[in-house]
């Protein structure tokens, strides 16, 4: 029988321990590389915009008929991320249950050049039920106002199957496409009474806080209140729109306040009833501090 000497046994034991340590180190390096690779992939995805493809909020104008009147209503819609946001906005407008456009209408394409958006509809857009001259004018304006929500669009022209002549010229038989291109007009936008275009929801705000929006309110005066998350009022002010009801006007003002510590707050814009001073048509916008 072969018996290891004490020295030989000790050396072999040390060798086996060394092999085990090396194996553990190699496995750890491999795991680290895998984690780094995963981290690099996450970084690449962020750089490529993969994680930034969130849903998009769009403002769309619908025609609303009442027993006494017809007007436009501005509503927000959320759509899946797309690079063709202008086309998505018009498709949302014509496909919504509130739409007065034929349901089988297609947007063939939209081109935008030097502030002019030219939208090309399929021929089905002309197969419209009778909405009268007012409905036709508002239908056209609903598309124009929807597209001019985008800062790079100032005017809109319509085509049907690539042409503005022939049947397209008469459109739905009343107003027609005779005075193209069309421009933005909010006079017949009755709802909502107030909307805020700046700041946007959950925006990080600074001092002074720029506040912009549109209002159709008594004497054009809107009240403004900024509060922190605990409800403490940080600042109050007012702004006067460029036109009072029954017209609609834009308003803009700056609000100074003492910047609180990190946290969140709420901007409120509303108008006060001349009868009892109650707050009417309040718009609430969540904001954050830097």
- pTM, rounded to two decimals: 0.80
Assigned fold of 192-288: Immunoglobulin-like (2.60.40)
Q: pLDDT (tens digit, 9 = 90+) per residue, 238-251?
A: 999 999 999 999 99
Q: pLDDT (tens digit, 9 = 90+) per residue, 181-200?
A: 999 999 999 999 999 999 99
Domain boundaries, the chain: 56-189, 192-288
The answer, yes or no, to whether the previous bond of 192 is cis (omega within 30 of 0) is yes
Q: pLDDT (tens digit, 9 = 90+) per residue, 9-19?
A: 555 555 555 54
């Amino acid at each position: 029988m072969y018996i290891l000497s004490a020295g030989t046994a000790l050396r072999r034991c040390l060798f086996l321990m060394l092999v085990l340590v090396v194996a553990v180190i190699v496995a750890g390096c491999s795991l680290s590389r895998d984690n780094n690779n995963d981290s690099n992939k996450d970084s690449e995805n962020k750089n490529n915009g993969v994680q930034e493809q969130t849903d998009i909020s769009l403002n769309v104008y619908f025609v609303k008929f009442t027993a006494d009147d017809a007007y436009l209503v501005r509503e927000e819609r959320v759509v899946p991320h797309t690079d063709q946001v202008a086309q998505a906005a018009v498709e949302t407008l014509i496909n919504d249950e509130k739409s007065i456009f034929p349901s089988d209408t297609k947007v063939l394409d939209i081109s935008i050049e030097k502030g002019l958006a030219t939208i090309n509809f399929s021929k089905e857009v002309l197969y419209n039920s009778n909405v009268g001259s007012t409905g036709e004018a508002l239908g056209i304006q609903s598309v124009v106002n929807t597209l001019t929500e985008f800062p790079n669009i100032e005017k809109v022209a319509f085509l049907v199957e690539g042409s503005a002549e022939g049947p397209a010229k008469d459109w739905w038989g009343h107003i027609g496409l005779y005075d193209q291109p069309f421009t933005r007009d909010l006079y017949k936008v009755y709802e909502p009474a107030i909307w805020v275009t700046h700041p946007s929801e959950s925006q990080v705000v600074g001092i002074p806080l720029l506040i912009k929006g549109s209002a159709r309110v008594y004497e054009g005066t809107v009240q403004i209140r900024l509060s922190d998350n605990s409800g403490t009022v940080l600042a109050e002010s007012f702004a006067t729109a460029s036109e009072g009801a029954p017209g609609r006007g834009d308003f803009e003002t700056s609000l100074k306040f003492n910047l609180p510590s990190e946290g969140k707050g709420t901007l409120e814009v509303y108008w006060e009833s001349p009868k009892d001073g109650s707050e009417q048509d309040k718009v609430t916008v969540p904001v954050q501090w830097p």
